[in-house]
């Protein structure tokens, strides 16, 4: 019994002692705080900072900002892409920062810019503390990312001020478990096809084929051919058409022919009738934005705003407004504030609806 009594205090004392690893980590953190962040590598500083903070105390963005500010620098965030529908955009941010020995790069995506930045910062933080060694890039391999031909083609058209690419599923063949899809892409007056086991694969191949073709043809030749086709058709009907008939697919032509049907029920929309009698929208309508939403409810279409991060050449804020008419209608507004830009795009939309109702 005496031996048991002598052993119990020792066991209790041993149980309450922290492990050697915990003591070592705490000593590292204390030493890190005393010596300063510049005396250790960026990777070690990140590891100790994450170790010091409990889960949920800080966001990856704020943690990265604090970590690098001690070194007199800051991470670089770049908005590289906006995908998806105008009312449900997906933002992609790229973050890059340099340590003493290498350059770290990561891409994060999200339904908001804040979420995309958060995911990008988290990815780089994981790299710094060794959770994701695969993504760590040497400086010479900074921009070696897998290309996205669909996005590249979209960007190429925007750069050259062409209409965006139009994709159509032309054919589906094969047994149910061995489907093969053929997708066509139309750019300006040109058409290319892609084949794949899914529509996504076929679409990517079609975009890739179009990119390869456009690389072999000078821009001047493409634009000249487009203008020639436009002039030939303008002589026959007195109208200048902007695209070749191959670009206007049957599906698109059908949507254009049905465009007026949105306004065919105008007699059933009291708000639209009221709008038609207004002379000055901003003066006679107390809240144009709310009025447009109410009008959308009556006419069965949705109203969506998308704020553009970049300012205009006149240093004004920009905002896009989309009406889900058939086809979709988009208006761009500018202003000294983002609210002024929204109001401007709203006024343009209401003026458009007023004209269509005449």
Domain boundaries, the chain: 19-141, 153-242, 260-356
pLDDT at 281: 85
Domain 260-356 CATH assignment equals 3.10.105.10: no
pLDDT at 53: 56
Task: Spell out the per-residue pLDDT of the chain, length 358, in tens.
Answer: 444 444 444 444 333 444 444 444 444 444 444 444 456 677 777 677 666 655 455 788 888 887 777 777 788 888 888 776 666 778 889 888 877 777 888 889 988 888 999 999 888 888 877 754 444 444 334 344 457 888 888 888 887 777 888 898 887 887 777 788 899 999 877 889 998 888 888 899 999 999 888 887 766 656 555 555 544 444 444 443 444 444 555 556 655 665 555 555 544 678 877 888 888 888 888 899 999 988 888 888 889 998 888 888 888 999 999 988 767 788 999 999 999 999 999 999 998 888 877 6
Separation CA 149–CA 131 (nearest Å): 30
Fold match flag (153-242 vs 260-356): yes
Tell me the fold of 153-242.
Double Stranded RNA Binding Domain (3.30.160)
pTM of the model: 0.33
The phi, psi pair for 19, rounded to 5°, reads -70, 160
CB 60 within 8 A of CB 118: yes
Counting Cα atoms < 13 Å in the Cβ hemisphere of 102 gives 13
Separation CA 149–CA 211 (nearest Å): 7
Separation CA 80–CA 117 (nearest Å): 11
Tokens of 117: 């930045």
Separation CA 242–CA 186 (nearest Å): 14
Burial class (CB in 10 A: 0-12, 13-18, 19+), 318: buried
Tell me the fold of 19-141.
Double Stranded RNA Binding Domain (3.30.160)
pLDDT at 256: 61
Cα distances (Å, whole numbers) of residue 184 to 52, 206, 322: 55, 6, 26
Separation CA 310–CA 320 (nearest Å): 12
């Amino acid at each position: 019994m005496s031996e048991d009594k002598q052993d119990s205090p020792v066991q209790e004392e041993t149980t309450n002692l922290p492990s050697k690893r915990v003591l070592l980590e705490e000593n590292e953190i204390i030493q890190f705080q005393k010596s300063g962040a510049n005396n250790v590598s960026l990777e070690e500083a990140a590891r100790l900072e994450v170790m010091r903070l409990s889960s949920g105390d800080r966001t990856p963005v704020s943690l990265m900002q604090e970590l690098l500010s001690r070194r007199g620098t800051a991470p670089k965030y770049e908005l590289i892409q906006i995908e998806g529908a105008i009312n449900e955009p997906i933002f992609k941010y790229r973050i890059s920062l340099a340590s003493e020995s290498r350059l770290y790069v990561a891409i994060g995506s999200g339904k908001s810019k804040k979420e995309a930045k958060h995911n990008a910062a988290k990815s780089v933080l994981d790299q710094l503390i060794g959770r994701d060694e695969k993504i760590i890039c040497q400086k010479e391999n900074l921009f070696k990312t897998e290309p996205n031909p669909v996005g590249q083609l979209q960007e190429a058209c925007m750069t050259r001020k062409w209409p965006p690419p139009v994709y159509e599923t032309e054919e589906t063949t094969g047994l149910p478990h061995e489907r093969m899809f053929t997708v066509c892409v139309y750019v300006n007056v040109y058409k290319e096809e892609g084949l794949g086991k899914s529509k996504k694969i076929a679409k990517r191949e079609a975009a890739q084929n179009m990119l390869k073709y456009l690389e072999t043809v000078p821009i001047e030749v493409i634009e000249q051919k487009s203008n020639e086709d436009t002039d030939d058709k303008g002589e026959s009907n007195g109208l200048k058409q902007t695209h070749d008939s191959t670009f206007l697919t049957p599906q698109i032509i059908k949507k254009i022919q049905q465009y007026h049907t949105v306004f065919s029920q105008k007699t059933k929309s009291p708000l639209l009738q009221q709008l038609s009698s207004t002379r000055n929208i901003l003066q006679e309508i107390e809240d144009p934005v709310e009025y447009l939403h109410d009008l959308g409810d009556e006419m069965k279409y949705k109203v969506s705003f998308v704020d553009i991060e970049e300012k205009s050449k006149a240093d004004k804020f920009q905002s896009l407004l989309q009406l889900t008419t058939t086809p979709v209608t988009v208006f761009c507004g500018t202003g000294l504030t983002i609210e002024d830009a929204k109001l401007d795009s709203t006024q343009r939309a209401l003026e458009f609806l007023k004209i269509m109702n005449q």
